[in-house]
Amino acid sequence: MPARMKLSSVYSTLPPAERKVADFILANPDAAAHMVINEIAHHAGVSVPSVTRLARKLGYDGFMDFRVSLASSTSAIRTDYGQPISSTDPDDVMIRKIMTGHMSALDSTMRVLDAQKFSELASEVLSCRRVVWLGTGNCVDLANTVSDSFCRLGVDSVVVGGRGIMHKYAACTKEGDLVFALTRTGKTQRTIDGLRIAKEHGARTVLITNLVNSPGEQYADYCFCTSRQDELYRICGYETITSFCALLETLLTIVERKKGFSSKAHFLETMTSQK
């Protein structure tokens, strides 16, 4: 996974000193890739150990390992619109800032997506006994959209988001079931516990999250991490779900293709049918 995407993913979980380091690197990735550790610490206004702790938290052996990864992960999407929205920005600049943030999120997610594993997951959707979706908040809305389409494709699919029934339902899953856990933060304990329970009862499990090294990863047969893009949060004041939506829509389309519809018209008729 590219160094900048890792930084974006864990950004909101960082303590203040490490967040300052992340702020500097995300704002100056090209310059930071050629700096020694003391220079980064100086520009971020923190101690050298803070830089080292951040590198190790991202899974690198040390700062040098992190710097090499940073230098090799230059995004295909380069933009001068990485600064926060200002009240003095003309509309065209503001639009470019927002749109390039979404484009960056999609680009980062595509770069780390394991296409082979994703294809295997789509095949499991079609061969499983039942698909179960676990999530809270707006993850439930996303799950409902995909689940409804799965049902139209002939896949038994159900969404469970209620606080009182998620764990009970997970305990009723078994071998042959495929359980998805959606948690953008990667730390929603109720959802992670549901994934663990389903795993313990023999179900195949999938975690989709924005957080690298989410604690739910240990219970997942498949884990896909989308780009959190905290740069966009700093720019616009909200966290994009663009890559989350795109990943689920892509899964739906790959499942449809494997289902073997004979034509585009057949697909559209099935996906839009309300019967």
Question: In this structure, which topology does domain 3-74 adopt according to CATH?
Answer: Arc Repressor Mutant, subunit A (1.10.10)
Smallest CA-to-CA distance from 134 within 87, 191, 85 is with 191
Question: What is the tens place of the pLDDT at every residue in 104-162?
Answer: 778 778 877 889 999 999 999 999 999 999 999 889 999 999 999 999 999 999 999 88
Domain ranges, ordered by start, for the chain: 3-74, 115-272
Residue 251 has a pLDDT of: 95
The pLDDT of residue 163 is above 70? yes
- DSSP one-letter string for 49-69: HHHHHHHHHTT-SSHHHHHHH
Task: State the chain's mean pLDDT as an integer.
Answer: 84
Encoded tokens for 245: 């939506």
Q: Backbone phi, then psi, for 267, in 5-degree steps?
A: -60, -50
Q: What percent of the chain has pLDDT over 90?
A: 47
pLDDT band of residue 177 (cuts 50, 70, 90) is very high
More confidently predicted of 122 and 91: 122
Question: What is the tens place of the pLDDT at every residue in 230-259?
Answer: 555 555 555 667 888 999 999 999 999 998
Averaged pLDDT, 200-221: 92
Residue 80 has a pLDDT of: 47
Tell me how far apart the alpha carbons of residues 78 and 71 are, in angstroms, rounded to a whole number.
14
The pLDDT of residue 174 is above 60? yes
Residue 103 has a pLDDT of: 80
The answer to pTM > 0.95 is: no
With b meaning 16 or more CB within 10 Å and e meaning fewer, what string describes 199-221?
beeebbbbbbbbbbbbebbebbb
| Per CATH, domain 115-272 is 1.20.120.80 | no
Averaged pLDDT, 77-87: 57
- Contact call for residues 93 and 79 (beta carbons, < 8 A): no
Q: Is the dihedral of CA 124, 112, 6, 60 positive or negative?
A: positive
Residue 265 has a pLDDT of: 65
Question: What is the tens place of the pLDDT at every residue in 27-42?
Answer: 788 788 888 899 999 9
Instruction: Outline where DSSP puts E strands in the chain.
Output: 130-135, 157-160, 177-183, 204-209, 222-225
Tell me how far apart the alpha carbons of residues 257 and 267 are, in angstroms, rounded to a whole number.
9
Question: What is the tens place of the pLDDT at every residue in 63-78?
Answer: 888 888 887 765 444 4
Smallest CA-to-CA distance from 207 within 189, 228, 180 is with 180
Smallest CA-to-CA distance from 179 within 165, 166, 164 is with 166
Residue 75 has a pLDDT of: 46
